């Protein structure tokens, strides 16, 4: 099956690769990709091409999705897996795109067995086997190296599920250790929570204090968008993310 899948992907790239001119326009519009050499950009183009063939982008509520928009999203989505491979995004098929923020209804059961629900306004969601849901306005606002990236945030949740549950620790590579991951992430998470509770204006997004899985997603945003900031604030977290993503954005972005 692996050989056949590889053959299909090679054929896909031969027939449906993103045209170089369209790719160049996307790359030039994304500070997030600055510093990638020609070889890395070509690998990213291949991944983005496969991403667009293997995932269905589904606009709703009248959003008109152009080819340039599709490439813009795919380039950002493919960056975290640049040195991991497209199979890390296996097990799900679609990205639902709203023009802006969207409403969801959340349900939960309390300790007495009573079911509660509430309406929440969101810019993104991700489920283990379901789709990724994104606000296009927030996709367009991502990639500027300002510490915010809705695409990377939600796809970090998808990577988190690779361990079997969303808990802030994805399936780690050979040579990485869960104890080292926890030794880096848990103190940093608690530190950020305490600083936010004290009312500090933190350099890192306080949304990371909501839960360990949100901390991982937010730190992944900062890892790619503002790597030097993350490296300064929580160097051990940066190192674990460097090992996991097999990239060193601080080296190329400065």
> Does residue 216 belong to any structural domain of this protein?
yes
- Contact assessment for residue 192 and residue 182, using Cβ atoms and an 8 Å cutoff: no
| Partners of residue 134 on adjacent β-strands | 97, 124
Give which of 196, 4, 107 is closest to 205, Cα–Cα: 196
**Residue 84 is assigned to a structural domain of this protein:** no
Q: Is residue 66 part of a domain?
A: no
Whether residue 172 is contained in a domain is answered as yes
C-beta separation of 135 from 101 below 8 A: yes
**Going by C-beta distance under 8 Å and a sequence separation of 6 or more, which residues neighbour residue 163?**
169, 170, 171, 172
Beta-carbon contacts of 4 under 8 Å, excluding residues fewer than 6 positions away, are none
pLDDT at 111: 64
- The pTM is what? 0.90
Please report whether residue 55 resides in a domain.
Answer: no
| pLDDT at residue 196, as a whole number | 97
Residue 243, in any domain of the structure: yes
The structure tokens listed for 230 are: 């993350």
- The pLDDT value given to residue 155: 97
SS3 state at 7: helix
The mean pLDDT values, 10 residues at a time, for the chain of 254 residues are: 77 90 94 96 97 96 96 98 96 92 59 59 69 95 95 97 93 97 98 97 96 97 98 98 98 88
Domain that holds residue 205: 167-254
Residues 6+ apart with CB under 8 A from 89: 51, 54, 55, 77, 81, 155, 158
Q: What is the CATH number of the domain that holds 199?
A: 3.40.390.10
Residue 180 lies in a domain: yes
DSSP lists the bridge partners of residue 119 as 105
Give the separation between CA 118 and CA 106, rounded to whole angstroms.
Answer: 5
How many Å apart are CA 207 and CA 63, to the nearest integer?
27
Question: How many structural domains compose the chain?
Answer: 1
Residue 153 is predicted with a pLDDT of 97
Query: Does a structural domain hold residue 108?
Result: no
């Amino acid at each position: 099956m692996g050989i056949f899948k590889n053959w299909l992907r090679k054929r896909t790239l031969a027939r449906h690769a993103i045209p170089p001119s369209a790719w160049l326009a996307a790359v030039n519009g994304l500070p997030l990709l600055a510093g990638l050499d020609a070889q890395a950009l070509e690998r990213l183009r291949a991944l983005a091409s496969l991403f667009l063939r293997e995932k269905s982008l589904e606009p709703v509520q009248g959003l008109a999705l152009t080819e340039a928009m599709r490439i813009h999203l795919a380039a950002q989505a493919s960056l975290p897996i640049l040195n991991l491979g497209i199979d890390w995004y296996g097990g799900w098929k679609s990205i639902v795109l709203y023009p802006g923020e969207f409403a969801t209804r959340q349900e939960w059961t309390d300790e007495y067995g009573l079911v509660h629900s509430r309406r929440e306004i969101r810019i993104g969601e991700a489920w283990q086997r379901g789709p990724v849901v994104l606000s296009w306005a927030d996709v367009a606002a991502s990639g500027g190296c300002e510490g915010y990236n809705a695409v990377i945030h939600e796809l970090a949740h998808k990577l988190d599920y690779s361990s079997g549950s969303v808990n802030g620790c994805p399936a780690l590579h050979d040579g990485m250790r869960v104890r080292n991951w926890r030794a880096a992430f848990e103190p940093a998470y608690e530190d950020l929570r305490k600083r936010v509770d004290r009312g500090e204006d933190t350099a890192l997004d306080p949304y990371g204090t909501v839960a360990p899985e949100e901390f991982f997603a937010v730190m992944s945003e900062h890892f790619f968008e503002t790597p030097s900031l993350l490296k300064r604030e929580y160097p051990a977290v940066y190192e674990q993310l460097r090992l996991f993503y097999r990239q060193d954005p601080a080296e190329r972005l400065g």
